[in-house]
Chains A and B, each alone.
Chain A
Amino acid sequence: MLDKIILAILVSAIAFFSVYITTPFLIKGLEKRNLTVKDYNRVGGAMVPRPGGPSILVGILTSEFTLYVFFPTAEILAILITTSLAFVVGLIDDRKVLGGWFKPVALAISAIPIILLGTYTPHLSFPLFGTVKIPELYVALVIFMIPVTGNTINSIDVLNGVASGFMTIASFALTISLFIIHNYDIALASLPLGFVSLAFYKYHKFPSKIFPGDSGALTLGAMYGVLAIVGHVEIIAAVALLPAVINSFLFLSSVKRIIEHRQIKSNPVTHTDDFKLMATTNKDAPITLVRLILAGGPMTEKQVGLVIFRLSIFSAVLAIVTAFMMGVKI
């Protein structure tokens, strides 16, 4: 047990410090190459470097490779390959304007290593009621899950610090849940996700010094999805992700099709004279979590971010309660 505790500290430190150290260099490099985008929610519209995905990937790869040296398991290999493929998908999307279909299809292909390596258990575990075997359906679920988690995190990346902050809370909830259900090996493998997100949040929080971009958001989301599958905690992972799921649900139920954010003609959020965020009155604009929060009245970007974090903590608590309920049978 002691060796695993030492390894947990080691991979957490590697994950955190590799992102903490490499991100400032990435920021400088992106600024030098003029790879910046306008932050529309900031007074004056500051130019912010993007994407931060490379430093996020460095953190994940270094820590997971270290873990793989000590525990060479197929599960860690699946995490490494699928997360890297999702990063490539995101990087392509950061560089080129592609159709709304590209990301879901490419992310579905990224999930294939999980199946080829046989790192899944084809049944779903529900709290209180036990498990249900779905051999054929589960393969479809694996293919479906990576695009869903990837795009869900990508869709919540709308305000400074929200995606990385949200991912920090959700992934630590997942790690705690994995410990509760005694899945220590995957709990160890999940630690880098939380620490990478936390280190990136330092630069992504309001006012952002860097944006994760699609490469960053998809990398975080895909890794979360792989952990849910190989850790056999699909339902717990879905519960921890509920605020982002709500955001995707609100968006899809209002636009009624899969489209890219850049394809939206009317913005769901506008600004007041003092540059607070305000829900639009345009009926054609999609409904999002931020618009729902702002329906009560204008708020600053930081305030909206804090509401989303409060929702994330609430979902994280529900996820941990769900993990405890896994051990209880009616």
Chain B
Amino acid sequence: MKEIFLFVFVMWILIIVGGGLLISIIAPLTISGYGKFDSILDSEIKALIAIILVIAWIFILSKIKNWIFHKQIKN
């Protein structure tokens, strides 16, 4: 059962780390040199990176879920 608690804890850590990446790395990014398209490009790139982060988050959780499920069944 402790694996499920670990799952919750890992999710919490991922939320904090994800927030840290968002604020300290992605948010300060600025795009320039494209004139009036600067702000649109800036938002789209940030949104894209955020989506990639969410996909990575889901991928990590899926791996943990599979590991817990197999471990529980083996026990």
Residues of A within 8 A of B (CB): 124, 126-133, 136-137, 235, 238-239, 242-243, 245-246, 249-250, 253, 287, 289, 292-293, 295-296, 307, 311, 314-315, 318, 322, 325, 330
Cβ distance A179 to chain B, nearest Cβ, rounded Å = 21
Task: Check if A126 sits within 8 Å of B75, measured CB to CB.
Answer: no
Asked if A239 meets B68 with Cβ closer than 8 Å, knowing A136-B43, A292-B4, A296-B1, the reply is no
Which residues in B have their C-beta under 8 angstroms from that of A287? 65, 69
Task: Check if B72 sits within 8 Å of A295, measured CB to CB.
Answer: yes
Interface residues of B in 8-66 (CB under 8 A from A): 8-9, 11-12, 15-16, 19-20, 22-24, 27, 43, 47, 58, 61-62, 65
Asked if A253 meets B62 with Cβ closer than 8 Å, knowing A126-B22, A295-B69, A295-B72, the reply is yes
Instruction: Report how far A303 CA is from B34 CA in the complex, Å.
Output: 61
> Could you write out 5 A-B pairs with CB less than 8 Å apart?
A126-B22, A129-B23, A239-B15, A242-B11, A315-B8
Since A124-B19, A131-B23, A246-B7 are in contact, a sample of 13 more A-B pairs with Cβ atoms closer than 8 Å, ordered by chain A residue number, is A126-B23, A127-B16, A132-B27, A235-B19, A246-B8, A246-B11, A292-B65, A293-B1, A293-B4, A296-B75, A314-B9, A325-B16, A330-B20
A239's nearest neighbour on chain B, judged by CB, is B12
Question: Nearest 9 CB-CB pairs, A to B?
Answer: A126-B19, A295-B72, A129-B23, A129-B20, A132-B27, A318-B12, A242-B8, A296-B72, A132-B23
Which residues in A have their C-beta under 8 angstroms from that of B9? 314, 318
Instruction: Report how far A242 CA is from B7 CA in the complex, Å.
Output: 10
Give which listed residue, A128, A137, A314, contacts B5 with CB less than 8 A: A314
Q: Main SS of the interface on chain A?
A: helix
| A128, A132, A289: residue with the most chain B Cβ atoms closer than 10 Å | A132
Instruction: Report how far A59 CA is from B68 CA in the complex, Å.
Output: 40
Contact count A vs B, C-beta below 8 Å: 79
B20's nearest neighbour on chain A, judged by CB, is A129
Asked if A238 meets B69 with Cβ closer than 8 Å, knowing A126-B22, A311-B8, the reply is no
Which residues in A have their C-beta under 8 angstroms from that of B22? 124, 126, 129, 132
Which residues in B have their C-beta under 8 angstroms from that of A131? 23
Asked if A129 meets B24 with Cβ closer than 8 Å, knowing A292-B68, A295-B69, the reply is yes
Cβ distance A145 to chain B, nearest Cβ, rounded Å = 15
A312's nearest neighbour on chain B, judged by CB, is B8
Which residues in A have their C-beta under 8 angstroms from that of B16? 126-128, 322, 325
Give which listed residue, A137, A315, A322, contacts B47 with CB less than 8 A: A137
B22's nearest neighbour on chain A, judged by CB, is A132
Which residues in B have their C-beta under 8 angstroms from that of A132? 22-23, 27
A318's nearest neighbour on chain B, judged by CB, is B12
A130's nearest neighbour on chain B, judged by CB, is B23
Cβ distance A324 to chain B, nearest Cβ, rounded Å = 13
Task: Check if B61 sits within 8 Å of A249, measured CB to CB.
Answer: yes
Task: Check if B15 sits within 8 Å of A253, measured CB to CB.
Answer: no
Cβ distance B11 to chain A, nearest Cβ, rounded Å = 6
Instruction: Report how far A184 CA is from B6 CA in the complex, Å.
Output: 32
Instruction: Report how far A128 CA is from B62 CA in the complex, Å.
Output: 26
Which residues in A have their C-beta under 8 angstroms from that of B4? 246, 289, 292-293, 307, 311
